[in-house]
Amino acid sequence: MGCVNGKCCNGYPPSSGGDSRDYSLHAKHILTQRSLEKVPVPSHNFHLEYSVLTQRGYYPDSPDKENQDSFCIKTQIQGNPNIHFFGVFDGHGQFGTQCSNFVKDRLVEKLADDPALADDPLRAFNSAFLDTNSELHNSGIDDSMSGTTAITVLVIGDTLFVANVGDSRAVVAVKDGNSIVAQDMSSDQTPFRKDEYERVKLSGARVLSVDQVEGLKDPNIQAWGDEESDGGDPPRLWVQNGMYPGTAFTRSVGDSTAEKIGVVADPEISVFQLTANHLFFVVASDGVFEFLSSQAVVNTVARYTDPQDACAAIAGESYKIWLEHENRTDDITIILVHIKGFPNSGAGTTDGSSGTSLRPTRSRRGNSEISTASGSEFYCSLRSESSDLHSFQHVVSTNRSPALVVPSPAHQMPLEL
């Protein structure tokens, strides 16, 4: 979740430049989609089939605004056929496009250059994020009020390492009997989270909604419900004596001004052991999860046999719901990875009997849906100081304009269990 109505708090004009190698969109392009690709994981005798879609948001007040999302898919890192990387980067601010492109290039380069990656991926991931953040600060890109969130999945054999900075999300689909349930592999880093709220407060942040900052509500009431009930006016981070930066997330890469009040680049890292019950995973920007729950996204994917069709359907549904609530949409990027041919031995159960907790999967402003966790999951979290900042722009819109919407593919077929 970023600005009330846009990505940048000061209403900057759209940025220019950026590296075309990441397949990100030119300002006037609406949709980019890559064809279905496959990569084997020979160490455990299965393979991955993946597709990606990125769509520029609809901004009636800025029709030439660039898509600030970017993505990176790199297979066989370090020449190892068992190591693969998938990442989505959601830029924000005047130079958000440059920031997201810089980070999507440098982060995977840092991982590829780390000789200890395969032996200690947790340390390698953490170092890659922090080093990339430092390089961005010194890159010549003005990241004082710009930056990017990052949601990344590193596949090493039969293990997923999920590193998150910000409020984009990674979700895995788990077979549970005749059902397919969504399991969040990352936790959105926003002031709605008590631990993140307390951390940024200790760093000197004021945490207030827009109505509180503008004097319409009591700033002393530090309670905002949850992302579903108060998603339209969420708590944001502000310096003590100023009306900036107004970030609705608590971790990001870049954002050197917000870094002073606790918005830092330290990732939270989760680790998941794959079994035959894990069917696919989705890595997507918050443009998807603003109104769609994790379970709704998984349900949509399960209706399609072709990952390209599933990506298009998710984008189309996200776009439609955005325009039902606002006169604009966010940029939308989705990577969908199907896990194919995983051996059945040792699959285990998925009813949570191994002691894993059950937790809801939700949208920020949509309806909650409950799913169960995979009993084979083991979770390890490295919580450090970082923050995800989408800057603030308070705009009241009265007119709704038509927009291009990605059509949902016609040939739907339930995923065979």
Per the CB < 8 A criterion, the answer to whether 166 and 285 are in contact is no
Q: At what angle do helices 294-302 and 307-325 cross, to 10 degrees?
A: 140
pLDDT of 296 higher than 70: yes
Residue 106: strand pairing partners:
none
Query: What is the share, in percent, of the chain residues with pLDDT greater than 70?
Result: 74
- State the distance between the two ends of the chain, measured CA to CA, in whole angstroms: 34
Residue 104's H or E segment, with its range, is helix 96-113
How confident is the model over 196-225, as a mean pLDDT?
91
Other Cβ atoms less than 10 A from the Cβ of 27: the count is 16
pLDDT at 224: 78
Residue 269's H or E segment, with its range, is strand 268-273
Lowest model confidence (mean pLDDT) among 49-58, 59-68, 348-357, 364-373:
348-357
Residue 55's H or E segment, with its range, is strand 46-55
Instruction: Give the position of tokens 């949208």.
Output: 363
326-343 pLDDT, tens digit per residue, is 999 999 999 999 999 999
Three-point CA angle 201, 238, 332, nearest 5°: 105
How confident is the model over 351-380, as a mean pLDDT?
37
How confident is the model over 372-384, as a mean pLDDT?
32
pLDDT of 70 higher than 80: yes
In 114-208, which ranges are continuous DSSP H helix? Answer: 121-137, 194-202
pLDDT at 280: 97
Question: How buried is 244 (Cβ within 10 angstroms: 0-12 exposed, 13-18 middle, 19+ buried)?
Answer: middle
**Dihedral sign (CA 388, 394, 400, 404):** negative
| pLDDT-derived band at 30, boundaries 50, 70, 90 | low
3-state class (DSSP) for residue 177:
coil
75-97 pLDDT, tens digit per residue, is 999 999 999 999 999 999 999 99
In 120-244, which ranges are continuous DSSP H helix? Answer: 121-137, 194-202, 210-213
Looking from the CA of 252 toward its CB, the CA atoms found within 13 Å total 40
Q: What is the DSSP letter of 20?
A: G
How confident is the model over 130-143, as a mean pLDDT?
98
265 vs 383: which has the higher pLDDT: 265
Query: What is the share, in percent, of the chain residues with pLDDT greater than 90?
Result: 66
3-state class (DSSP) for residue 185:
coil
Q: What are phi and psi of 265, to 5 degrees?
A: -100, 5
Predicted model pTM: 0.79
Three-point CA angle 138, 144, 149, nearest 5°: 90
Q: What is the DSSP letter of 309?
A: H
Distances 234 to 125, 150, 213 between C-alpha atoms, Å: 30, 20, 12
Q: From CA 108, how far away is CA 372, in angstroms rounded?
A: 32
Contacts of residue 153, Cβ cutoff 8 Å, sequence gap at least 6: 85, 86, 87, 160, 161, 162, 170, 185, 281, 283, 337
pLDDT at 68: 96
Residue 257's H or E segment, with its range, is helix 256-259
Other Cβ atoms less than 10 A from the Cβ of 44: the count is 15
3-state class (DSSP) for residue 61:
coil
pLDDT of 237 higher than 50: yes
Task: Find the length of the chain.
Answer: 417
